[in-house]
Amino acid sequence: MKKIYQAVVLAAVATLLVVVPVLAAYYVYVVVESTGADYENLALNMTLDVDGLVDEGYISTTGLDTRVTDSGYNVLPHMLVEDKLMWVSDLPGNTTTQFIFWTDQSAMDSFPTITGYGGYVTIADNTTLEPGDAYAFGVMGYVDTSAGANKSIIRKDNAVTMNITAAGNITFAVYGGNSVTASNVTSGFMTIMVYCDTYELWMEIGEVEQDRTSASTIPDTANNWTLFENDVMPYVSYYGEWVVP
């Protein structure tokens, strides 16, 4: 049900790939050059024959035994798809930055979701996902809370949104109903929870309550769900929705 849309990262970014075999494991140096602006937590990607790595026994069928680091060996969020390596890192302007792709690592439990620069996730409309009047939403990952147009963490047109409404403000709003807002939130890795128990609607970040109001029923519409739009979340570790049948 999910589709991940990926865009070319930046026209001004060039990549150089060097493969270095080391016994059963090998790593890849990726040098990225940018000419201009500095970027924080930029979603990057490059073409990589992931199926070939599996076939040759360099990585497991899941690819979870891999890592991406910077030149200082700091582990970065990453994920693999059939033909791409995707990762997230700061990228200083007018510099050459080296990244390393490692195989033969201990297996992780899962990859984060990385939509790519300008990407997003869609979930088809489904009656079992209609929240109604008792529901909860949860998301864990890096959230960019700087001001920007249409930076939606969750959007179902004419039903509900969770988005950046101003610099540092995260608002969950029910169409035609009430809303709750977390203010003065600094960009970073966080867990956001929204609850509605038919009596009250409230938001928590890191288990700290941010705002509370009376409950609102989310309208049942035929529109699809759209998540993580306009680079609001460069990587997502978890997303969940709970509804009462």
What is residue 159's predicted lDDT score, i.e. its pLDDT?
A: 98
Q: What does each C-alpha distance from 66 to 37, 73, 105, 127 come to in angstroms?
A: 30, 13, 6, 38
Q: What are the residue boundaries of the structural domains of the chain, listed by start?
A: 2-102, 121-243
Q: State the architecture of 121-243 in CATH terms.
A: Sandwich (2.60)
Cα separation, 243 vs 95, whole angstroms: 48
CATH number belonging to domain 2-102: 2.60.40
Please, which residues have CB within 8 angstroms of residue 47's CB and are 6 or more apart in sequence?
83, 84
Q: How many CA atoms lie within 13 A of 151 on its CB side?
A: 20
Cα separation, 205 vs 189, whole angstroms: 10
DSSP sequence for 24-93:
TEEEEEEEEE--S--EEEEEEEEE--HHHHHHTTSS-SS-TT-EEEETT--EE-EEEETTEEEEEEEE-T
What is residue 1's predicted lDDT score, i.e. its pLDDT?
A: 33
Q: pLDDT-derived band of residue 180, with 50, 70 and 90 as boundaries? A: very high
pLDDT in tens, 99-156: 889 998 999 999 999 998 889 999 999 999 999 999 999 999 999 999 999 999 999 9
pLDDT in tens, 61-79: 999 999 999 988 899 999 9
Question: 156, exposed or middle or buried, with CB in 10 Å at 0-12, 13-18, 19+?
Answer: buried
pLDDT in tens, 5-43: 333 333 344 444 444 444 345 677 777 766 678 888 989
State CA 232 to chain mean position distance. Answer: 8
Whether pTM > 0.95 for this model: the answer is no
What is residue 108's predicted lDDT score, i.e. its pLDDT?
A: 95
Mean per-residue pLDDT, 220-229? 97
Which residue reads 């970065």 in tokens?
76
